[in-house]
């Protein structure tokens, strides 16, 4: 075997994706707000782009697109164009050469400073607890320990670390601080007694149940504030918690010598307690949804519109193109730069329109396919896959996936993600396909309307669905019921 560097020639074909294709795919993937920011950025860095000021300009821009593209191609070939007025020519030439990095100048330049809106900080659970700690008569050392506890409380309000872990962490900080300090006095470490004492302080704060380590402890902490101390509810939580979770009212009633109905009534009072007390003060961000598409019913027809009213309307700048045509004034480096910017602007305008048309095609097909859903509700939702849409509109399945990902539509049935309209299929007795999402909605409706004293078992749900022409296995019903958060029939039963 011979080692060393070697050269060889090979003839082959490779598929390389143009960076502009990546940009077009990214634009398909972008939700409305992301696209808005992207277009604003492109408007700043590319002087060949400018805003369409009103509807008349927009219509004019559409009519001039073909002519502009042809003129741009002529400019690239190098055909001379009539020169502009000398003053304007000098001004535009200077802007074109010196203003590219900042997007050039406009005839009506706005010199005002613009600021991006900053998100206002919201107060969370940590702030709520620390405000209460400051009102307590605690030493500096205890406040330090309290901060360590608060830092280990999760957003649900539970203590996410053991007392041993909290002690290990804070004592390590104390030790490091003592080593770096010039004082020779010994700093005492925190003990388990300190931790247990501080745990009681934390658990006495608002909201009730804060700082608990288990659900059992959380409910016990809430009993005094709920007025349930000394009642049957307290007995259930304190002494029969596992049976309480399993809804074994009869077994508990026999042990305590009380009617099962009284046990269930006490359990109903416990159900009003908060299993996640920290959520009331959680600083979770508000996620606002802006629909990308609008579906409106006019008479007997459903119309689809793109909700792009807030998107910057872009067109090619005629003034910049006029200067770019005469390339004799520019050196080779400037010519290459100008050509790339003009080409990028043309591509972006085309990509925006391509994105718009693709989204409309996809949504039109969804509306036609799911018309019964819009008329009757989720029980009439038909099964649909990305492949079916892709084949119908003549595009690749991955393109449809990008179009539907993180996109929302405002419909007569509410604002829904486009993925909502896609679901797997189940066979009915007459051979037709039915939507799995529609089946879940039917199960939810049947459970909501059931007799609480005799709830529907999974097998009973199977029989009811088969009566309506849906073939489904009992384990599938159980899976859908779990997905809906519906308890088994035994645990839904009322005495």
Return d(Cα 297, Cα 413) in angstroms, integer.
Answer: 11
The domain made up of 425-492 has a fold known as Arc Repressor Mutant, subunit A (1.10.10)
Which pLDDT score is estimated for 201? 94
Q: Residue 206's closest CA among 130, 145, 137? A: 130
Looking from the CA of 457 toward its CB, the CA atoms found within 13 Å total 5
C-alpha distances out from residue 430 to 424, 427, 467, Å: 18, 8, 12
Question: Is residue 405 classed as helix, strand or coil in its secondary structure?
Answer: coil
Closest CA to 412 of 379, 380, 438, 374: 374
Q: Write the CA distances from 49 to 31, 46, 61, 436, integer angstroms.
A: 22, 6, 12, 47
Contacts of 282 (CB under 8 A, 6+ apart): 124, 125, 155
CA–CA–CA angle 340, 341, 346 (5° rounding): 100
Give the C-alpha separation, 434 to 446, whole Å: 17
Q: pTM for this one?
A: 0.61
Under 8 Å between Cβ of 426 and 471: yes
**pLDDT tens series, the chain, 495 aa:** 566 677 777 776 554 545 556 666 677 778 777 888 888 888 887 877 877 765 545 455 455 444 444 444 444 434 334 443 444 433 434 433 343 333 333 334 344 444 444 445 567 888 999 999 999 988 988 999 999 999 999 999 999 999 999 999 888 888 887 777 666 566 788 899 999 999 999 999 999 999 999 999 999 999 999 999 999 999 999 999 999 998 999 999 999 999 999 999 999 999 999 999 998 887 555 567 888 899 999 988 999 998 887 777 888 878 777 777 766 666 666 777 777 788 888 888 888 888 888 889 999 999 999 998 998 888 888 888 888 888 888 888 888 888 888 889 999 988 999 988 888 777 665 555 677 888 888 888 899 888 888 898 989 998 888 888 888 888 988 998 898 888 888 888 887
- The DSSP call for residue 454 is S
Q: Which long-range contacts (CB under 8 A, 24 or more apart) does 331-336 make?
A: 334/97
The DSSP H or E segment spanning 427 is strand 425-427
Partner residues linked to 375 by β-bridges: none
| Summary count for the chain: helices (H), strands (E) | 22, 8
Q: Give the helix/strand (H/E) hosting 409.
A: strand 408-411
Do the Cβ atoms of 484 and 443 come closer than 8 Å?
yes
**Domain locations in the chain?**
19-104+286-422, 124-205, 214-282, 425-492
Give the pLDDT of residue 266. 92
Q: Report the pLDDT value the prediction gives residue 27, as an integer from 0 to 100.
A: 73
Burial class (CB in 10 A: 0-12, 13-18, 19+), 256: middle
Measured distance CA(169)–CA(471) in Å, rounded: 58
Which H or E run includes 400?
Answer: helix 397-404
Q: How far apart are the first and last CA of the chain?
A: 85
DSSP label of 411: E
**For 65, what's the count of Cα atoms within 13 Å in the CB-facing half-sphere?**
16
Region at 227 (left for phi over 0; alpha for psi -120 to 50; beta for the rest): left
């Amino acid at each position: 075997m011979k080692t060393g560097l070697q050269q060889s020639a090979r003839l082959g074909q490779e598929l390389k994706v143009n960076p502009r294709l990546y940009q077009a795919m990214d634009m398909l993937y972008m939700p409305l707000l992301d696209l808005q920011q992207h277009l604003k950025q492109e408007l700043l860095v590319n002087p060949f782009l400018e805003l369409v000021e009103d509807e008349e300009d927009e219509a004019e821009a559409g009519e001039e697109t073909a002519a502009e593209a042809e003129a741009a191609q002529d400019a690239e070939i190098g055909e001379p164009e009539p020169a502009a007025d000398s003053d304007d020519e000098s001004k535009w030439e200077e802007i074109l050469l010196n203003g590219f990095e900042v997007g050039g100048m406009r005839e009506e330049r706005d010199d005002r400073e613009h600021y991006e809106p900053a998100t206002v900080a919201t107060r969370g659970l940590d702030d709520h607890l620390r405000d209460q700690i400051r009102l307590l008569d605690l030493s500096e050392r205890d406040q330090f320990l309290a901060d360590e506890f608060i830092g280990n409380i999760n957003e649900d309000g539970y203590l996410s670390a053991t007392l041993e872990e909290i002690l290990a962490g804070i004592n390590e900080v104390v030790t490091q601080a003592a080593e770096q300090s010039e004082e020779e006095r010994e700093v005492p470490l925190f003990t388990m007694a300190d931790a247990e004492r501080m745990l009681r302080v934390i658990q006495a704060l608002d909201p009730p149940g804060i700082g608990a380590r288990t659900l059992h402890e959380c409910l016990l902490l809430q009993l005094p504030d709920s007025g349930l101390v000394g009642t049957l509810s307290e007995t259930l939580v304190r002494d029969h918690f596992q049976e309480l979770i399993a809804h074994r009212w009869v077994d508990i009633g026999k042990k305590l010598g009380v009617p099962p109905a009284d046990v269930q009534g006490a359990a109903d009072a416990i159900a009003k307690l908060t299993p996640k007390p920290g959520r009331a003060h959680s600083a979770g961000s508000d996620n606002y949804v802006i629909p990308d598409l609008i579906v409106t019913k006019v008479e007997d027809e459903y119309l689809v519109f793109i909700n792009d009213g807030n998107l910057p309307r872009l067109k090619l700048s005629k003034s910049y193109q006029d200067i770019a045509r005469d390339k004799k004034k520019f050196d080779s480096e400037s010519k290459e730069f100008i050509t790339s910017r003009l080409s990028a602007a043309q591509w972006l305008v085309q990509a925006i329109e391509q994105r718009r048309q693709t989204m409309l095609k996809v949504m039109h097909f969804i509306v036609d396919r799911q018309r019964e859903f819009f008329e009757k509700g989720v029980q009439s939702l038909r099964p649909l896959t990305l492949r079916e849409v892709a084949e119908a509109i003549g595009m690749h399945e991955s393109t449809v996936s990008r179009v539907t990902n993180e996109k929302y539509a405002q419909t007569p049935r509410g604002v829904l993600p486009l993925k909502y309209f896609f679901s797997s299929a189940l066979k009915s007795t007459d051979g037709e396909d039915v939507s799995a999402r529609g089946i879940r909605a039917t199960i939810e409706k049947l459970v909501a309307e059931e007799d609480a004293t005799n709830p529907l078992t999974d097998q009973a749900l199977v029989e009811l669905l088969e009566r309506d022409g849906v073939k489904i296995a009992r384990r599938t019903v159980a899976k859908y019921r779990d997905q809906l958060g519906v308890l088994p029939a035994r645990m839904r039963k009322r005495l």
